[in-house]
Amino acid sequence: MSQTYTVRAIPDGKYWALEIPELDQYTMATNVKEIRSMAQDFITVVTGEQNPQLNIQYAIPNEVEESIQLKAEAQRLEQEAQHKQRQAALSLHSNGMTLRDIGALLGISYQRVHQLLRTTVSA
């Protein structure tokens, strides 16, 4: 079983300093997309371990972390709202309500109601 290595990614001007406490070593990455591969390659060179597991921790301001968390929560809530909207449209339609009336109640177009019902039926 491979060891999990902590990688602390610390912005340093145009680069990212990557601290790996388990090895008491540092390396660099030029951008966020490079952090994982640079850390994995560095650990492989130092330890010989292939495909090491990483726990990447970003040293970023709190407002950035909060923004990321809020964005994830907004996406989750949007998915939940879409699911509930489908359920509501299906329920109203099964009670004989027209697509236009359902749309007016849900604040969406009757075309969107039609899409929701079609998606629900085919799902």
Higher pLDDT: 92 or 3? It is 92
Alpha-carbon distance of 72 to 56, in angstroms, equals 18
- Among residues 119, 117, 123, 122, the alpha carbon closest in space to that of 95 is found at 117
| pTM confidence score | 0.58
Residues 45-79 have pLDDT tens digits of 999 999 899 999 999 888 988 998 999 999 999 99
Residue that has been written with the tokens 């902590």 in this structure? 6
Task: Give 96's pLDDT tier (boundaries 50, 70, 90).
Answer: very high
Alpha-carbon distance of 59 to 8, in angstroms, equals 7
pLDDT at 7: 97
Alpha-carbon distance of 123 to 110, in angstroms, equals 20
| Distance, first Cα to last Cα, the chain | 40
Alpha-carbon distance of 110 to 98, in angstroms, equals 9
